[in-house]
Amino acid sequence: MKNRKFLLIAFMLTIGFVLAACGSSDKDKDNGKDNASGDKEGTEESADFSAAMVTDIGGVDDKSFNQSAWEGLQNWGAEHGLSRGNGFDYAQSNDKADYIPNLTRLVRDDYNLIFGIGFELKEDLTKIAEQYKDTHFAIVDDVIELPNVASITFKEHQGSFLVGVAAAKKTKTNKVGFVGGIDSPLINKFESGFIAGVKSVNPDIDVKVEYAESFGDAAKGKIIASNMYSSGIDIIYHASGGTGNGVFNEAKDIKKSDPDRELWVIGVDRDQHDEGKIGDHNVTFTSMVKRVDVAVEDVINQAMKGEHHGGELLEYGIEEDAISVATTNEEAMTDDIIEAVNEWKEKILNGDVDVPKTREETKAYVEGL
């Protein structure tokens, strides 16, 4: 009898230890302790969230605006262990007629946040957002006043002002050029800031402005650049997406045939230093870096936390480190030019300079110099 009682007690104690161990294991899993960093909840959160973008006709490899946005999406995906088609993706637009089909496909693929890259998508993104009110969207470079659309804009005029200062300090001919994509309020911000920056250093410098009326016409960009360089212009600032590839091509062709000639291109959106390489030379003077990638990644991370900013305007500028001037070409961007750029940057940050955004504001600004 005593042996039976002893065996019963031993059996009950064994069962108790097993249950306690199982309970402890389950509790540890519930607390995410099976993850070495304790971030299981964050991993699941990112795995359950997806984001995608629709390019404008410049394409995802335009070396400029769309590419920067795609890099931001890729950075976010890599940070959260995702891959293209499994958490993030893009839809290529080769024509304006592609915008609605691309947006619709991404909605039907159940992406949580869908970006329209560029103001050209405004009309079609508005239609889709009104149709799919439960889907969250974001437009880059324009404003859509709908409760499920976040509007992302930049202070391009600030960065354009600073590269205008750099151009004024660099030019030998006192003639510089601006090549725009589509003549629009957005690209007018680039134009306005650039002219104001140039004139702030030297009001006598001539600034030639021409628009290609396309963000994807490299041939037109090359023709415009050829005419400008032939007229004595030695620096061209482009804000024209893929059209700007033609500006770079023309500058490199001239440099190839006449290595001693000083002529330059100012890139846009990304640091376009690599686009200017020609043998031992580089025709990229500097670039107005607009961190679309930073903004895209930031907005996605906020959306993951439930902060979709629908119906809100998000603006990124120098203050947010989303606008800057590239100094990669150390031979061209000399210390005195960088010093001048930094001095004017401080004036903008301190409120001593209110950079114009429109042609009317630029005219008034220049008249007041």
Q: What is the pLDDT of residues 80-136, one digit of tens each?
A: 999 999 999 999 999 999 999 999 999 999 999 999 999 999 999 999 999 999 999
Which domain does 206 fall in, by range?
156-290+334-367
Question: Is residue 165 within 8 Å of residue 200, measured between CB atoms?
Answer: yes
Q: Quick one: what percent of the chain has pLDDT higher than 70?
A: 87
Q: What average pLDDT score do residues 172-196 get?
A: 97
Residue 6 confidence (pLDDT)? 40
CATH code, domain with 102: 3.40.50.2300
Contacts within 8 Å (CB) and 24+ apart, 36-43? 43/80, 43/81
Is residue 25 over pLDDT 70? no
Question: Is residue 234 within 8 Å of residue 176, measured between CB atoms?
Answer: yes
The answer on 135 and 78 residing in a single domain is yes
- pTM of the shown model: 0.80
169-178 core/surface letters (b: 16 or more CB in 10 A; e: else): bbbeeebbbb
3-state secondary structure of 80: coil
Residue 22 confidence (pLDDT)? 40
Is residue 10 over pLDDT 50? no
- Number of domains within the chain: 2
Say how far apart CA 235 and CA 229 lie, in whole Å: 8
Residue 135 confidence (pLDDT)? 97
Instruction: For residue 20, tell me if it sits in a domain.
Output: no
The pair phi, psi for residue 100, each rounded to 5°, is -65, -45
The answer on 116 and 106 residing in a single domain is yes
Q: What is the pLDDT of residues 256-304, one digit of tens each?
A: 999 999 999 999 988 999 999 999 999 999 999 999 999 999 999 999 9
Instruction: For residue 268, tell me if it sits in a domain.
Output: yes
Q: Tell me, what DSSP letter sits at residue 93?
A: -
Residue position matching structure tokens 């992406």 = 111
Which residues, 6 or more positions from 102, have their beta carbon under 8 angstroms from its beta carbon? 54, 91, 92, 93
Q: What is the largest CA-CA distance in the chain?
A: 114
Residue 195 confidence (pLDDT)? 98
The answer on 212 and 346 residing in a single domain is yes
Residue 233 confidence (pLDDT)? 98
Say how far apart CA 334 and CA 332 lie, in whole Å: 6
DSSP-H helix ranges across 88-243: 99-108, 122-131, 156-170, 185-201, 218-230
Instruction: For residue 44, tell me if it sits in a domain.
Output: no
Q: What average pLDDT score do residues 145-171 get?
A: 98
Say how far apart CA 59 and CA 93 lie, in whole Å: 7
Is residue 55 over pLDDT 80? yes
User: Mean pLDDT across the chain, nearest whole number?
Assistant: 89
Say how far apart CA 300 and CA 137 lie, in whole Å: 10
Is residue 182 over pLDDT 50? yes
Residue 59 confidence (pLDDT)? 87
The answer on 163 and 263 residing in a single domain is yes
Residue 19 confidence (pLDDT)? 39
Instruction: For residue 6, tell me if it sits in a domain.
Output: no
Residue 15 confidence (pLDDT)? 42
The answer on 95 and 222 residing in a single domain is no
Residue from 207, 200, 196 nearest 158 by CA? 196
Instruction: For residue 42, tell me if it sits in a domain.
Output: no
